[in-house]
Amino acid sequence: AQSVTQLDSHVSVSEGTPVLLRCNYSSSYSPSLFWYVQHPNKGLQLLLKYTSAATLVKGINGFEAEFKKSETSFHLTKPSAHMSDAAEYFCVVNYGGATNKLIFGTGTLLAVQP
């Protein structure tokens, strides 16, 4: 079955330290992969997307993610966390074709300590 797994439900970092949010997907072929962020009581905002071009994808607000097919991973990173990064992050897969729907991970809640 097609699925996406976010390995951590909560991550806490100090302001100014690196952020790593982990994501693995199941697939028999390369899907499109996305990271979305959701701030409290807000909708979802697209951070970045992978669509079979460069494996290192740069997004907004200093975030980037690397697609590793051999590991079926698409981890999200940021060199230096900011207080405004505190939010919930979703790793999302779109397999396209006959199943054109997004499959969401369960989310990782990022807390940033001062």
Partner 1 sequence: KAGVTQTPRYLIKTRGQQVTLSCSPISGHRSVSWYQQTPGQGLQFLFEYFSETQRNKGNFPGRFSGRQFSNSRSEMNVSTLELGDSALYLCASSPSGTGTFYGYTFGSGTRLTVV
Chain contacts with partner 1 (rule: CB under 8 A): 32, 34, 36, 42-46, 49, 51, 90, 94, 96-97, 99-104, 106-107
Q: Which is nearer to partner 1, 43 or 114 (CB)?
A: 43
b/e 32-47 (16+ beta carbons within 10 angstroms → b) = ebbbbbeeeeeeeeeb
Smallest distance from the beta carbon of 113 to partner 1, in angstroms?
24
Smallest distance from the beta carbon of 7 to partner 1, in angstroms?
15
The count of other CB atoms within 10 Å of the CB of residue 19 is 20
